[in-house]
A and B are shown apart, each in its own frame.
Chain A
Amino acid sequence: MSTQVLVVDDDDDLREALADVLRDAGYTVGTAANGREAMTAMREDPPLVVLLDLMMPMMNGWEVIAAMADDPALAAIPVCVVSAMSGSAPAAAHVLSKPVSVPALLEAVGRYCPPDAPGRRKRGVVTPADA
């Protein structure tokens, strides 16, 4: 199944926690630890929405947004910026301030794509849909 949400954050724990919450909500999630990885992942498998941290090594969030705008295949993908700095976010589709609350996160992502599997998937439990 192709990626719906690409989570880009250099903090491993935060990235995985965000991805887990989204997976729990039924999304197919991809992850990237910096802007460069994010661009590679996006070109291989364009997501429906990108959850983007701004302050990252290698290639930061602002650079990712600029690179996406230059690529016709990626320019239309909505970006949710997750930032600890209010007022410094670029003109992205949506801004979530850090720390992100779960309802705000799900609301923002839900605007751009519905979860693959409706309802919450229970890990370790095989549901008829998975079988």
Chain B
Amino acid sequence: MKAQRTIVPPGAEILLVDDRYQDLLAIEELLTGQGYTTSTATTGAEALRQVLSHDFAVILCDVMMPDMDGFELASIIKQRERSRHTPIIFMTAAGAEMSFIYRAYSVGAVDYLNKPIDPDVFKAKVAIFVALFRKDLRIREQADALRIADRHEQQDEADDLKIVTDRRYRNLAEAIPQIVWTTNELGVVTYFNQRWFEYTGQLASEAVGDGWKRAVHPEDLPPYVAKCESSLGGAEVFELELRLRRADGQYRWHLCRAVPEHVDAEFSGWIGTNTDFDDRKRALDAAREAVAVRDEFLSIASHELRTPLAVLDLRLHSLESNLTDVFSDGREHLRTKLHSVRSQGQRLTSLVNSLLDVTRIANGRLTLDRETFDLGESVREGFEHIADLARGAGCEVGIETDGDLVGMWDRRRLEQLVRNLLSNAIKYAPDAPIQVGVVGVPDRVTVSVRDHGMGIEAADVERVFGRFERAVSARKYSGLGMGLYIARQIAIAHGGSIHATSTPGAGATFLVELPRG
């Protein structure tokens, strides 16, 4: 095989392919003294090997060759991207038929020559292709030179910038009170600022490799390592809390935050800071625990209060119905008093229920018990519960319904929502009518409650839905300020919303939107 090894003379521009060696010599002879470098091949296979390794200005190819003829060779050369545009000139015996000429063009030949070759025509044709090739080459070289020059300039600028910014980064890293570190793309630490060594008491020689890990609390190391590995290459900011051992041996909580760095869109490592927030964390944990304890207490207390309240209510109900005889004979006032005791008991019950709801919401324990029902009916039922209250306040409540009002919701909760909105309207807009509209549209049902009271200032329109909030002073209006908060949370739990619109002095409208569930 060594004999077949192809050697292309350096700078060769013309490839001559002919199975007859004498013909090759003759053609080469024609080109001598023209300033060309030529390469020769006596088989199609050899020619291909040369074309694979070298770009030629023109290929002169005999058609009739054993094994692989000129047409086959041309079509293979044309299939290859690199050599697709290399011109091929076929050489063939004189008197070739037109069919041959067509075939030559169809495989991509640019021209053909009849043998014996006319030296002047031959030289002229070759000269054109070589001149074109040389010009093309020159243009390409110039373009490359330009590109390289441009890149060098950019690189120089970037290098200058990098040196400056690196120095500034380091200075900055040393100037801030936090611990600063960087890693490479594998997550291996490549830099700590001086603060690290001061804080942990480690020497630079102790921190190298994985040595720094000895300053991390053993319990916090596995989650840290796991998170590091899972975030490698990521684009997200990395945030984690961990304890670091201070030089005095005390473990203190740190907030570890790192941003990924990229070079040419490739992840190149992290740059991170550790901030000692131990005091803040302890205070925060204590506050969180206090809130949790309070919520838990509220939850248990309201839970426990419900049984005695239920007994009271049931007993008072029994008394009322059993003492009918006693209430006659001029002792009607006893019935009024008993009724008042019972209604105050019920008020207490509803306050306790609200408290329990608030603690449930705060703990994310507001669960829905969905069933299919007609919201219009449910709104009417919700109203029945407070019809007495409305009458007492001089509010005439009109309920209008329109469209398909059936959906999958928690019936009890939505009755509560409507009751809360109505109680709110009755409380803040007495002696005026209240309009309730329940309207079904294709994907949802809306409930609107419109009153004609004092309205809500624009600045308070969102605040009224806050926990323990009210738009006006608590001295004037009783209640815990939980009704609208609970109403909104019920709407949210159903995937819906409540919003208020108001013109101060002319009343407010509360609009509830509920997806059909």
Q: Tell me the A residues contacting B by CB distance below 8 Å.
A: 11, 13-14, 17-18, 20-21, 24, 84, 86-87, 95, 97-102, 120, 122-123
Residues B313 and A101 in contact, CB atoms below 8 Å apart: yes
Residues A86 and B310 in contact, CB atoms below 8 Å apart: no
Give the most central of B306, B311, B314, B317: most A CB within 10 Å: B314
Which residues of B sit under 8 angstroms from A97, Cβ to Cβ? 412
Which residues of A sit under 8 angstroms from B325, Cβ to Cβ? 122
CB-defined A-B contacts under 8 Å, sample of 21? A13-B311, A14-B307, A14-B310, A17-B310, A17-B314, A18-B314, A20-B315, A24-B321, A24-B322, A86-B369, A86-B412, A87-B368, A97-B412, A98-B307, A99-B306, A99-B307, A99-B310, A102-B313, A102-B314, A120-B321, A122-B322
- Asked if B478 lies at the interface with its beta carbon under 8 angstroms from chain A, I say no
In the assembled complex, the CB of B158 is this many whole angstroms from the nearest CB of chain A, namely 62
In the assembled complex, the CB of B205 is this many whole angstroms from the nearest CB of chain A, namely 60
CA distance in complex: A86, B310 (Å): 16
Give the most central of B307, B308, B310, B321: most A CB within 10 Å: B310
Residues B369 and A20 in contact, CB atoms below 8 Å apart: no
Give the most central of B311, B367, B369: most A CB within 10 Å: B311
Which residues of B sit under 8 angstroms from A100, Cβ to Cβ? 310, 314
Residues B369 and A87 in contact, CB atoms below 8 Å apart: yes
SS of B interface (majority): helix
- Asked if B309 lies at the interface with its beta carbon under 8 angstroms from chain A, I say yes
- Asked if B318 lies at the interface with its beta carbon under 8 angstroms from chain A, I say yes
CA distance in complex: A17, B308 (Å): 11
Residues B367 and A87 in contact, CB atoms below 8 Å apart: yes
* Chain B residues numbered 299-352 whose CB sits less than 8 Å from any CB in chain A: 303, 306-311, 313-315, 317-318, 321-322, 324-325, 346, 349
**CB contact under 8 A between A11 and B307, given known A24-B322, A120-B321:** yes
Residues A84 and B303 in contact, CB atoms below 8 Å apart: yes
In the assembled complex, the CB of B353 is this many whole angstroms from the nearest CB of chain A, namely 8
Residues A84 and B317 in contact, CB atoms below 8 Å apart: no
In the assembled complex, the CB of A33 is this many whole angstroms from the nearest CB of chain B, namely 14
Q: What does the 1/0 interface line of B445-466 toward A look like (CB < 8 Å)?
A: 0000000000000000000000
**CB contact under 8 A between A17 and B315, given known A86-B367, A99-B349:** yes
Q: A99 contacts which of B313, B321, B367, B369 (Cβ < 8 Å)?
A: B313
Q: B310 contacts which of A20, A24, A98, A120 (Cβ < 8 Å)?
A: A98
* Chain B residues numbered 126-171 whose CB sits less than 8 Å from any CB in chain A: none
In the assembled complex, the CB of B455 is this many whole angstroms from the nearest CB of chain A, namely 33
Residues A14 and B311 in contact, CB atoms below 8 Å apart: yes
In the A-B complex, list the 9 residue pairs whose CB atoms are closest, starting with the nearest.
A99-B310, A87-B367, A17-B314, A13-B311, A102-B317, A17-B311, A99-B306, A20-B318, A98-B306
* Chain B residues numbered 365-397 whose CB sits less than 8 Å from any CB in chain A: 365, 367-369
In the assembled complex, the CB of A116 is this many whole angstroms from the nearest CB of chain B, namely 17
Q: B306 contacts which of A13, A84, A102 (Cβ < 8 Å)?
A: A84
CA distance in complex: A18, B313 (Å): 10
CA distance in complex: A120, B321 (Å): 8
Which residues of B sit under 8 angstroms from A87, Cβ to Cβ? 365, 367-369
In the assembled complex, the CB of B14 is this many whole angstroms from the nearest CB of chain A, namely 90
Q: A18 — nearest CB in chain B belongs to which residue?
A: B314
In the assembled complex, the CB of B377 is this many whole angstroms from the nearest CB of chain A, namely 15
